[in-house]
Amino acid sequence: MCGIYGATSPHDSASLVALAGKMGAPIRHRGPDDEAFVINDRTMVGNMRLAIIDVDSGQQPITSRDGAIALVQNGEIFNYLELQQMLRAQGVKFDTNSDTEVLLRMYEHFGVDFVKHLNGMFAIAISDARTQTLRLYRDRLGVKPLYWTKTDAGFLFGSEIKSLLAAGLPRKVNFEAMHHFLSFNYVPHPLTMFDGIQSLEAGSRMDVTIDGQITTTQFWNLPTDNVGKDRSELEIQNDILTLLEDATNIRLRSDVEVGAFLSGGLDSSSVVGVASQFTQDRLATFAIGFPDSRFDESEFAQEVADRFNTQHTMTPFLPADINHWLKAVYHCDQPHGDVSFLPTYVLAKSARDTGIKVVLSGDGADELFAGYEKYPAYFSDLEKGKFDPANYFSSISLLDESTKHLLYTDAMRTSLDGCNSFKFASPIFDEAEELDPINQALYFDTKFLLQGNNLVKPDRMGMAASVEVRSPYLDYRMAELAFTIPGKTKLKAQRTKSILKDALVPMLGERLVNRQKQMFTVPVGDWLKGDLFYFARDLLCGNRATERNLFRADQVALMLGQHVDGKANHTRLLRALIAIELWFRMFIDDERIPSSLHPDDFFPQKAN
């Protein structure tokens, strides 16, 4: 696990040396153990290392023996031992025991399509002087991030947008991205809130020549053509369990101790249960407790910890921890409306404080197996056999187009006229049109929601604490298996994750498997009616926000007042607007990324 960055210069290499130091420093939290860069034929690739595999000898960048190829990666290749064994059988020699060297030898042996052999979470950059080409790869489901931009001075890339900004890139707001943020509650890929900066799509390779020519190739996609194979539900359950065991086991490969996040929900509990079978020592598990019983699952997390005899740590999330909102915005580089980022950071910091820098999580199962309550709520009203993508999109949107235009000032409304967020969703639904209705919805959420929001959370919040998060359910084989399973077995009689729950009952028991799902979030909506009211009022209705001329101050004040008075629940909208304003203050107003953060800089004191 690391942070990577780099650049090309079409004219000379001298400027790349100074650029390396600038681009690496802002992402030191991703790799505090080591840092280095290589300049290879007017291309620079750099790495900030979090040492997990081959701690002593696995430094990056790694170069070919003739010096023509330089490679860096962010992530882990979980099947690296099998790949290493395969190459050795063909006479390939290795100088280290690292998974990064396996990538280099695979590229030398198989060429640009070597990535199809990998099982892992990764963002990879390869400078190949033989072809004067920089190659970028992003893993199949988008677990690891990768951002890029092209300028007159060359091409820039990095694990976080901070690296690109540190290179001197102008900070121009992409207002279209903000418009779509208000639809999705996150900025949809490949856009970012910075004009000119994009994310590389999941499952893609980008080739960049020294003279600036860019070609993008998709090397993987979710399957859509083999759903409903003739298998019994018992066979499907066995397939799920067999794959979960293997996906978890290979994610325990590490030269440092591996722990696990444990919410007490089905997904993390099943990962802990499986991992406990493969660990000789007691597995370290980490949970969050909430003072509000509506969100607190610590009782169930403790029950799972007792069941599998883990070494368990529970950390309370306190109202004062709302100050981590600043850290969340800072580490995400752009606004996100999901406040569960905050307890995730506290959870990751708890693990790191005990010396753990690798954890397992249950991320991904909800999207693959229909785990959210929105699915039975939506499909219970759906006429059998019919599915309208536009209607589903509307049901999951934060704001529709008319409500956004009601919030906008006249200037914003004019500049964004004709901008419609469904254009991002429509092509993905087109890909899935042969699937059954439930799997069409899951296909969209797996390709879009996961990459845009739910995978951002464990990566950014884990890395903020220098912790690597590994998710067995996000093994690409599990995703491929999930889309061979008919939707009706995932959402059976309005029971979420039905087939997965049935598979896990023998391991976890009826009580843990079939209890009511709770949301892993923070009661910000209630706090906005109390201690956070003054903060929200001053932030959203004050002069700084009003002078941006983005949103009508009277409408924002009206919605805040309606929320406080209990006339309407505007929690999600207010969270989104707060995230936008904090982002503007941090990344645009100051025209710098702060080296340190303090809540008093942003959170006004309560009024007397």
Q: What is the pLDDT of residues 481-507, one digit of tens each?
A: 999 999 999 999 999 999 999 999 999
Q: Does the pLDDT at position 601 exceed 50?
A: no
> Is 2 annotated as catalytic?
yes
**2, 332, 419, 541: which is the annotated catalytic residue?**
2
Tell me, what's the pLDDT at 607? 38
How many angstroms separate the CA atoms of 404 and 407, rounded? 5
Tell me, what's the pLDDT at 318? 83
Q: Does the pLDDT at position 15 exceed 90?
A: no
Q: Does the pLDDT at position 108 exceed 50?
A: yes
Rounded-to-5 percentages of helix, strand, coil across the chain: 45, 15, 40
CB 47 within 8 A of CB 38: no
Say if strands 34-39 and 147-151 run parallel, antiparallel, or are unpaired.
unpaired
Tell me, what's the pLDDT at 228? 66
Q: Where in the chain is the domain with CATH 3.60.20.10?
A: 2-218
CATH label, 233-376+439-514, candidates 2.30.30.230, 3.40.50.620, 3.30.70.980, 3.40.50.10680: 3.40.50.620
* pLDDT, mean over the chain: 92
Tell me, what's the pLDDT at 552? 96
Q: Does the pLDDT at position 233 exceed 60?
A: yes
C-alpha of 161 from chain center = 14
CATH class of 2-218: alpha beta
How many angstroms separate the CA atoms of 525 and 578, rounded? 12
Tell me, what's the pLDDT at 596? 46
Q: Does the pLDDT at position 427 exceed 80?
A: yes
pTM of the model: 0.95
Q: Does the pLDDT at position 593 exceed 60?
A: no
Contacts of 495 (CB under 8 A, 6+ apart): 376, 501
Q: Does the pLDDT at position 132 exceed 70?
A: yes
Residue 430, class by beta-carbon neighbours within 10 Å (0-12 exposed, 13-18 middle, 19+ buried)?
Answer: exposed
Q: Where in the chain is the domain with CATH 3.40.50.620?
A: 233-376+439-514
In the DSSP assignment, the letter for residue 44 is E
Mean local confidence (pLDDT), 413-441? 94
Share of the chain above pLDDT 90, in %: 83
CA angle at 274 for the pair 268 and 276, rounded to the nearest 5°:
100
Give whole-number Cα distances, 108 to 18, 101, 140, 462, in Å.
30, 11, 21, 32
Give whole-number Cα distances, 403 to 424, 539, 555, 559, in Å.
19, 21, 11, 12
Tell me, what's the pLDDT at 229? 67
Q: Is 495 left (phi over 0), alpha (psi -120 to 50) or beta?
A: beta
Share of the chain above pLDDT 70, in %: 95
Q: Per-residue pLDDT tens for 309-353?
A: 999 999 998 878 888 888 899 999 999 999 899 999 999 999 999
Mean local confidence (pLDDT), 210-224? 95
